[in-house]
Amino acid sequence: MELTEQLQVELNRENLLEMYWLMLLSRRLDERAWVLHRQGKIAFHISAIGHEAAQIGAIFAIRRGQDWLLPYYRDLTMVLAMGLTPREFMLGLMGRQGEPSSGARQMPSHWSLKRAKVVSHSSPVATQTPHASGIGFAIKLRGDDAVVLTTIGEGSTSQGEWYEAVNWAAIHKLPVIFMIENNIYAISVRQDRQMAVPRVADKALGLGLPGVTVDGLDAIEVHRVVSEAVARARGGDGPTIVEATVHRMTPHSSDDDDRTYRPRAEMEALKAQDPLDLFRSRLMGEGLLTEKAEAEINERAKAEVEEAVAYATQAPYPDVSEATYPVFSGDRHHG
Ligand X SMILES: Cc1ncc(C[n+]2csc(CCOP(=O)(O)OP(=O)(O)O)c2C)c(N)n1
Nearest CB to Mg ion, comparing residues 49 and 315: 49
187 binds, among Mg ion, ligand X, none (CB under 5 to 8 A by kind): ligand X
Least separation in angstroms between CB 24 and ligand X: 21
Nearest CB to Mg ion, comparing residues 57 and 175: 57
Binding mask 211-250 for ligand X (x = CB under 6 A): -------------------------------------x--
Please name which of 169, 105, 38, 149 lies closest in space to residue 324, comparing C-alpha atoms.
105
Nearest CB to Mg ion, comparing residues 227 and 250: 250
Per CB under 6 A, contacts with ligand X among 59-78 are 74
Please state the separation of Cα 230 from the chain's center in Å.
Answer: 17
What distance in Å separates the CA atoms of residue 308 and residue 162, rounded to the nearest whole number?
Answer: 36
Task: Give the count of residues interacting with ligand X (CB under 6 A).
Answer: 15
**Residue 332 burial (C-beta neighbours within 10 Å; 0-12, 13-18, 19+):** middle
124 binds ligand X (CB under 6 A): yes
Least separation in angstroms between CB 169 and ligand X: 19
Rounded-to-10 torsion of CA 81, 151, 131, 323: -60
Least separation in angstroms between CB 155 and ligand X: 3
153 binds ligand X (CB under 6 A): yes
Nearest CB to ligand X, comparing residues 130 and 175: 130
Q: What 3-state class would DSSP assign to 212?
A: strand
Binding mask 139-168 for Mg ion (x = CB under 5 A): --------------xxx-------------
Do 39 and 313 touch, CB atoms closer than 8 A?
A: no
DSSP type of residue 70: E
What distance in Å separates the CA atoms of residue 225 and residue 237, rounded to the nearest whole number?
Answer: 15
289-317 burial code (b ≥16 CB/10 A, e <16): beeeeeeebeeebeebbeebbebbeebee
179 binds ligand X (CB under 6 A): no
125 binds ligand X (CB under 6 A): yes
Q: Which residues bind Mg ion (CB under 5 A)?
A: 153-155, 183, 185-186
